[in-house]
Amino acid sequence: MEQDPEEVRRRIVGKVEADGARCEVKSFPGFICLRVPEEERRFWSPRLNISLEREADGTRIQGTYGPNANMWSSLLYGYLLIGSIGLFSGIFGFCQHSLGMRPWGLWIFGASVAIGAGMSALAWIGRGLGERQTRELHRIYQTAAGLELDLC
């Protein structure tokens, strides 16, 4: 856009609030966050983080759709914990096998692989459940910004 980032931020926030859009708006200099209203928010509900950066010819707008920070942190630490347990139990089980011992560490490795696959499946299902809300946030943003953008 050919305007200053602060003007773009004020215009987008103002239009979202004036239209009575069904979303919560958090606004900081150079940043806007659109979230699903609390009464409609679930574990899988998305949010849209928009950054506004000054460039030579105006303002660069970048947005990211993603899960709520609590869900993102839970998945991150869950994958980290399961991955660490899987790595060390796999190494331990392989060492047990190499030494001719009963490789019970490989059972823990298999369980951690299954738990990791289950977490990935839950994340994929949650993304599908939040698709309607993602499209609604996208529509609200498009209306406020006056831009036609494809939702990839």
Q: Give me the DSSP letters along 36-56.
A: --GGG--TT-EEEEEEEEEET
What pLDDT score was predicted for residue 10?
85
Same domain, 107 and 92: yes
Is residue 137 exposed (0-12), middle (13-18) or buried (19+ Cβ within 10 Å)?
A: buried
Is 14 within the bounds of a domain?
A: yes
Q: What b/e sequence results for 49-84 when a residue is b if at least 16 CB atoms lie within 10 Å of its CB, and e otherwise?
A: bbebeeeeeebebebebebbeebeeebeeeeeebee
Q: Which residue range(s) make up the domain with 12?
A: 5-67+132-145
Same domain, 61 and 103: no
The torsion angle over the Cα atoms of residues 62, 63, 64 and 69, rounded to 10 degrees, is: 110
Measure the CA–CA gap between 97 and 93, rounded to whole angstroms: 6
Is 114 within the bounds of a domain?
A: yes
What pLDDT score was predicted for residue 141?
86
Same domain, 83 and 113: yes
pTM beyond 0.85, yes or no: no
What pLDDT score was predicted for residue 1?
54
What pLDDT score was predicted for residue 107?
97
What pLDDT score was predicted for residue 121?
95
The residues pairing with 58 across neighbouring beta strands, listed in sequence order, are 55
Is 120 within the bounds of a domain?
A: yes
Same domain, 11 and 85: no
Give how far Cα 140 sits from Cα of 1, 33, 144, 148, Å: 18, 12, 6, 11
Q: Which positions of the chain have pLDDT values less than 50?
A: none
Domain CATH for 39: 3.30.310.80
Same domain, 87 and 138: no
What pLDDT score was predicted for residue 115?
98
Same domain, 123 and 50: no
